Amino acid sequence: MKPLFAALALALAAGPALAADGPHPFSVRDLVMMDRVGDPQLSPDGRFAIFSLRTTDYAANKGNTAIYLLDLDKGGTPVKLSDKGNTPRWAPDGSAVYYLANAGDTSQLFRQGVDTKGKALAASGSATQVTSTVLDIDSYKLSPDGSHVLLSMEVFTDCADLSCTKEKLDGRAKDKASGTVYNKLFVRHWDTWEDGRRSQLFIAPTTGATAEPTLLTRGIDGDVPGKPDGSDDEFSFSPDGRSVFFDVRIAGTSEPWSTNFDIYQVPADGSAAPKNLTQENQAWDANPLVSRDGKTLYYTAMKEPGYEVDRFGIMALDLASGTRHEVAPGWDRSAGSLQISDDGKTLYTTTDDNGQHPLFAIDVATGKVTKLTDKGTIGGFALGAKRILLQRDDLKVPADLYTADTRGKGLKQVTHYNAARIKNAKTGDAEFFTFKGWNNETVQGYVVKPVGYKKGQKYPVAFIIHGGPQGAMNDGWSYRWNPQTYAGQGFAVVTINFHGSTGYGQAFTESISGDWGGKPLDDLKAGWSAALSKYNFLDGDRACALGASYGGYMVYWMAGNWNQPFKCFVDHDGVFDARAMYYETEELWFEEKENSGEQFEHPENYEKFNPVNHVKDWRVPMLIVHSAKDFRIPDTQGLGAFNALQRRGIPSQLLHFPDENHWVLKPQNSVQWHETVNAWLKQWTAPTTEH
């Protein structure tokens, strides 16, 4: 059997004309070639910025990351510090930048001197390799005086040194037998089969760090940082450098159904075992940050065990007495990772808030919360004594760097990547709206006009349903589900932040649990009706619904319970059979929370809103996309749904990626995904087509 869309695949492999010259509607080919600014860091004196910049090598089907410097006082064009590497961090004295880069077959830590006093900002001398470990260094953090560095590496915990782990891995590679025996879960997680290693935390001097580093997490049966997407926010030093704090979930035999992360303290010299500081809380404790005077540990904490999207409150622990309190208990938002002001009086964090993702300041003494930015998404920030460096994007532009004072005033854009691309690639205007949803409660959504919008004309609609389900479609830029890719194809976009979405209070977020096909569907119906009434350019007779993850679940649910308005569906990595999903997925805590228990104890909860039970009512053509390395929602879910569509004789297609996980990340795969989806939408919304 020939693969679907073979002609398309051949055209893409031959090499696309990725960016049209002159003004043109925004497309996926613009999207994949955008320069991606990230990881902003301020120098100790607050004058200079370092950041990473990812560019796309389309022919090689990958992204390349470089590190850049910028003088924030003088402005001008950023200077490239290194053409390779990631995770740049300033030395505490501002004389150098550290970063991770490949050295042969492993990822190592490098140090690059910086000349900030000459006539031109530039690298000083050649980069020095700081570490020479036999294993990859995955993340790191410098001590306050720069003399030591924390390193995370994946090791076999029964090994006495790093060489032992390397020898075991080499031995497995040579073994002709390929089977693996598992005794407990996880067997696989996100997109990786478990091999018995744990991410552990080590410490080494920054001079002469080629020696065997000291293991700090000895006896910890867990990953530091957590997998699959943990970061250096999960471990930190005390201001005097004598103690290290980290958060970790002890695996044991309950890891797949536990969210019990705790925060530990360990001497930086490894002279004692780690001590659990948050043992009494059986829910998630994270993001340890010590106050400037070393007396208080700030961290974020959930209250409900087994729930990954409970509200993260900000906690303050007196390290001498052990007493603790919540800093802003009345703030009905879930805090992200924390940074602290130079005077120690203010904490900073970002979180979802009514369709935006702003930066907030929290007064430590009073708990007063102040929103520092308004529209758009703050994807990262770095805090100085007098200024903040911000990574900001919105629905019309990808991320660039901005500065503001510590009160959020005087916002100024300081980098202008993609300016020429955005000038030529025309995007659609967005507008938020509200309506009365389930139980007559206020719900928010937004509409994006198609590129080239003309008053009085009607346009086909892409009705996008977000995933999570505890997530939101915010005023932000995305490289996966970007409304502008549909607006550029002549579609209007409608999306609804239904009950269960984040940024509208914890009660609103929690309301979806146990009710996946209830309140959210009511909101989607009401939102669709409200959008059609408010925006007369929406052609309700030429609309398709699209969604991924929970959004994919909802597409399958709508296929049997609300298919009347739609000409087609697109389902990416959705849950088709809730019963099978419980036994096939890896993070069981999610399923058990959302369905109020285990499937074998409460089967009725899993059947209440199970799409597989409504296949007999399916009628709308559907495109299914699923990937083989998606272990969160395994591809058997998509294959089962495709079987159902084909057996019922409903027009349908399956796009399957053997090399992607829950996301589609490779540039050429992203183009293929978008081209396939766009072709499907156009096929079924064409005004004169007979289907």
So what's the pLDDT on residue 550? 98
* Helix residue ranges, H only, 393-495: 419-424, 483-487
Q: Which amino acid is at 42?
A: L
* Helix residue ranges, H only, 547-635: 550-561, 578-584, 588-594, 603-607
* Adjacency order of strands within the sheet including 339-340: 339-340, 346-350, 359-363, 369-371
| pLDDT tens for each residue of 30-56 | 999 999 999 999 999 999 999 999 999
Q: Give the CA radius of gyration of the chain.
A: 25
Question: Which pLDDT band, with edges at 50, 70 and 90, does 235 fall under?
Answer: very high
Q: Which residue has the tokens 């308004």?
A: 374
CB atoms closer than 10 angstroms to residue 593: 21
Q: Which residue has the tokens 């399958």?
A: 556
453-472 per-residue burial string, b: 16 or more CB within 10 A, e: under 16: eeeeeebbbbbbbbbebbbb
Q: Can you give the length of the chain in residues?
A: 691
The interaxial angle of helices 519-534 and 550-561, nearest 10 deg, is 80
**Residue 257 dihedral angles phi and psi, to the nearest 5°:** -120, 25
Residue 168, pLDDT above cutoff 70: yes
So what's the pLDDT on residue 678? 98
Mean pLDDT of 57-64: 98
What's the sign of the alpha-carbon dihedral 315, 320, 321, 322? positive
Mean pLDDT of 599-627: 98
User: Token pair for residue 186?
Assistant: 């996880």
Share above pLDDT 70 across residues of the chain, in percent, rounded to a whole number: 95
Closest CA to 396 of 524, 493, 501: 493
Residues 6+ apart with CB under 8 A from 297: 245, 263, 277, 288, 289, 290, 291, 316, 317, 319
Mean pLDDT of 667-688: 96
Closest CA to 316 of 307, 306, 304, 325: 325
Q: How far apart, in whole angstroms, are the C-alpha atoms of residue 417 and residue 53?
A: 9
640 and 670 Cβ atoms separated by less than 8 Å: no
User: Token pair for residue 555?
Assistant: 């597409």
CA distances from 199 to 288, 296, 526, 529 (A): 18, 27, 46, 49
Residues 6+ apart with CB under 8 A from 231: 139, 225, 337
| pLDDT tens for each residue of 367-407 | 999 999 999 999 999 999 999 999 999 999 999 999 999 99
Closest CA to 327 of 353, 350, 298: 298
Domains and CATH numbers, the chain: 422-685 (3.40.50.1820)
Mean pLDDT of 405-420: 97
Q: How far apart, in whole angstroms, are the C-alpha atoms of residue 46 and residue 333?
A: 29
| pLDDT tens for each residue of 329-366 | 999 999 999 999 999 999 999 999 999 999 999 999 99
Mean pLDDT of 146-169: 97
So what's the pLDDT on residue 8? 40
Least confident stretch, 199-208, 270-279, 527-536, 551-560: 199-208
Residue 468, pLDDT above cutoff 70: yes
| pLDDT tens for each residue of 177-216 | 999 999 999 999 999 999 999 999 999 999 965 668 999 9
Q: Which amino acid is at 161?
A: D
Question: Which pLDDT band, with edges at 50, 70 and 90, does 495 fall under?
Answer: very high
Question: Which pLDDT band, with edges at 50, 70 and 90, does 279 fall under?
Answer: very high
Residue-averaged pLDDT of the chain: 95
So what's the pLDDT on residue 390? 98
Determine whether 229 is exposed, middle or buried from the number of CB atoms within 10 Å of its CB (0-12, 13-18, 19+).
exposed
- Start-to-end CA distance of the chain, whole Å, equals 24
Residues 6+ apart with CB under 8 A from 179: none
| SS3 (DSSP) at 400 | strand
691 and 621 Cβ atoms separated by less than 8 Å: yes
Question: Which pLDDT band, with edges at 50, 70 and 90, does 434 fall under?
Answer: very high
What's the sign of the alpha-carbon dihedral 341, 346, 352, 356? negative
So what's the pLDDT on residue 124? 79
Residue 15, pLDDT above cutoff 70: no
Residue 159, pLDDT above cutoff 60: yes
Q: Which residue has the tokens 């398309």?
A: 8
User: Token pair for residue 284?
Assistant: 């998630």
Mean pLDDT of 635-664: 98
Mean pLDDT of 259-276: 98
* Helix residue ranges, H only, 412-496: 419-424, 483-487
Mean pLDDT of 424-447: 98
Least confident stretch, 106-120, 354-368, 575-589: 106-120
DSSP code for 683: H
Residue 12, pLDDT above cutoff 70: no
Q: How far apart, in whole angstroms, are the C-alpha atoms of residue 665 and residue 478?
A: 12
141 and 225 Cβ atoms separated by less than 8 Å: no
Between strands 387-393 and 377-383, the pairing is antiparallel
315 and 364 Cβ atoms separated by less than 8 Å: no
